[in-house]
Amino acid sequence: MSAESVHFETRIRSANQEVVIGRGHRFCLIGERINPTGRRIFQEQLRAGDLSAIDRDVAAQVAGGADVLDVNMGVPLTDEADLLAKAIIKIQSLTDKPICIDSSVVEALEAGLSVYQGRALVNSITAEDERMEQILPLVKKYDAAVIALPNDVDEIPMEPEKRLDLVQKIIDVATKEYGIAMHDIVIDPLAMPIGADTASGVATFETMRRIRDEHGLNMTCGASNVSFGMPERHSLNGTWLPMAMMMGLTSAIMDARTPQIVQAVKAADLFMGHDDWGMEWIGRARAAKAAAEAAASQEAAAGA
């Protein structure tokens, strides 16, 4: 089908706040930091039942501009289902930001969904039959939206055509077999590390363009993947994201603590007509100036 004029809106909610992901809206920043991967101390704290670091992570991501918080509690040698449920309950007590529940363990996803007060985004499924059979019933049961990756048990395809074939398979299974609405399917177009294959960037952009034009679906990705293994990663990510936005990317899972990258996204929103009268851009600039002046005043007072 042609989706050139179709702009699907994916709506996710906390108990008190709704976020809309869509081409007619500001880019959705999904804060990635609440994740123990590669964080040894955080993992040790979680194994000991200490969730206090989550307070700092939530505060830092929200302060940086995150609209949604991705939550992953995948720590070896723990009860991930119990840990994820406790983390979600804690986060809901700290912020009204909606949550993206991130786990490869089906039991953990259900535990998280069962305690979440709102409409979650589930991260994620692939085009593998088993994964869809396990997770899509939960997505339907809890009225969630879902992130879907166009790879299967055989490969992560590099060719846009193969990725689009798997996108179509996901759409067919989710909508026809499980009754999930098109607007609740968010595609991850598979942003691969540019350092491993410099042709991967063009392939991903073409995949995004075709998903946008042929299906009108919203898209997200792990934004930091594109620069993995390369120097000056912030510059690469800050350049890539606005380019991806022009191809139809409507959200990204990223570290909102990085002002250079967040600023690039906000500037792109302004130029793409998603920031009426530049009010968010102006507001952020004024807030940053006020914070800098307050910090300078405190420093001067401390040195007096």
Condensed to tens digits (0 to 9), the pLDDT of residues 33-77 reads 999 999 999 999 999 999 999 999 999 999 999 999 999 999 999
Residue of 169, 173, 136 whose CA lies nearest to 151? 169
CB 16 within 8 A of CB 96: yes
**pLDDT surpassing 60 at residue 272:** yes
**pLDDT surpassing 50 at residue 1:** no
Q: Look at residue 19 and give its three-state secondary structure.
A: strand
E strand or H helix that includes residue 219:
strand 218-219
Radius of gyration for the alpha carbons in the chain, expressed in angstroms and rounded: 19
101 - beta bridge partners? Answer: 71, 122
CB 91 within 8 A of CB 115: no
Query: Full-prediction pTM beyond 0.85?
Result: yes
E strand or H helix that includes residue 10:
strand 10-13
Q: How many whole angstroms separate alpha carbon 227 and alpha carbon 236?
A: 6
Q: Look at residue 261 and give its three-state secondary structure.
A: helix
pLDDT band at 304 (very low <50, low <70, confident <90, very high): low
Q: In 10 A of CB 283, how many CB atoms?
A: 11
**Tokens at 2, concatenated:** 């042609």
Using one digit for the tens of pLDDT, what is the confidence trace for 71-125?
999 999 999 999 999 999 999 999 999 999 999 999 999 999 999 999 999 999 9
